[in-house]
Structure 1
Amino acid sequence: MDQLMDISLYIKSRPNIVLLGDDFVGKTSLIYRYINEETSGKCETLRGADLFTKELTINDILFSLKIWEWGHEGLFDTSTSSYRKINCCIFVFDVTYRKSFESLNFWRDKFFLRAEKNPNEFPVALVGTKIDLENEREVSKQEAEDWCKSFSIPYFECSAKDDINVQDVFEAMTAKLAMKCIPKEIRIRNNK
């Protein structure tokens, strides 16, 4: 009971997750599939950015996720203070479109410059979308994994259309955030 009392102090977390990448790489479809279990739906558009919400519980913490999608317009129109409020960044590219992979460094550099976050400590992942179009693939899984190794970040391949690995992306990143939400002394006490 004491453990539940301690954790209940940190039961609600409202992290901001942003998805960044070129237009038409499947960011919106990925989010819709995760939130609505379909690939189309409604969202709230705010000056070049779309905002979605979903609740999920991990490690006894209720997360009310705010999931943002910023395209090129959102990347530049969003204020620096908005960048600082982001708790996790997911870079997205289309495995069937090499240019979207080649622009990942642009997205990464712009985000960390504006967010003023330490890229070695900040929760980040890479997602390759549209793996249901394997015969049209222009970027190999190995190539994407090599890019991720250079930054020590996880890589996921997904298909929003076929609902492959979509849940895994958001749950893995939320689990990383869960470890940051519970103070170290509570984590140690609860693991005894």
Structure 2
Amino acid sequence: MLNELVKFLGEEDYFITKDNEENIIEVREKTNDIVNQDIAFFLIEDGLKYDILRKSRGSETKLISLSNKATALFYLGTKVKMSRLSTLYPKPKISHISSEDNAREVLSNFLDDGLYEIEKYKKDAICLFEENNVYIVGYCDMNMVFHIISNDNPDLTMGTKVLVNFSWKYMYFKKMIKEYGIELNYKTQDCKEILRDLLNLKN
């Protein structure tokens, strides 16, 4: 399974090591064959779970715990790539949005159709709607349950920017699933935990 991770990340861009005794996989970024010593990602096998951690200049943060090893390896690679997403794939700049129709027109130029919706709920999509004079952004899951991402946007322009931020990330997450060649069951607890982490879901 480690071969899939190495292929996904690329040996030229990342330094990947495995400590068999401690059951730890470590990933660091490389630039011109120089390994970044400041930031590292780890996958630690701990009994029946797999913890993904990020270490930055001595400070260690546990990001997520998963139960399936193949899924955990994929998400380790995803977290590594996502840490550079804004550099690899800079988001388009959003200026003033005048209406919901204007927002749909702007977003259709660079977001995959089906990943987002405005003014209504849509399965497996980032949704934006107005409620009590504030704009709410959230994710509607496969069971049509709405999970809040942000619920304090004062105007449509700000709400649209938040929608873009998370739809952009979700779009590349979907691309990474295909690139890695893994099938994810969105109904499993692992996938629910991944979406909670990826999209910063509040509930």
TM-score between both structures, scaled by the size of structure 2: 0.29
RCO greater where, 1 or 2, for CA within 8 Å and sep 6 or more? 1
More strand by share: 2
TM-score between both structures, scaled by the size of structure 1: 0.30
Bigger radius of gyration = 2
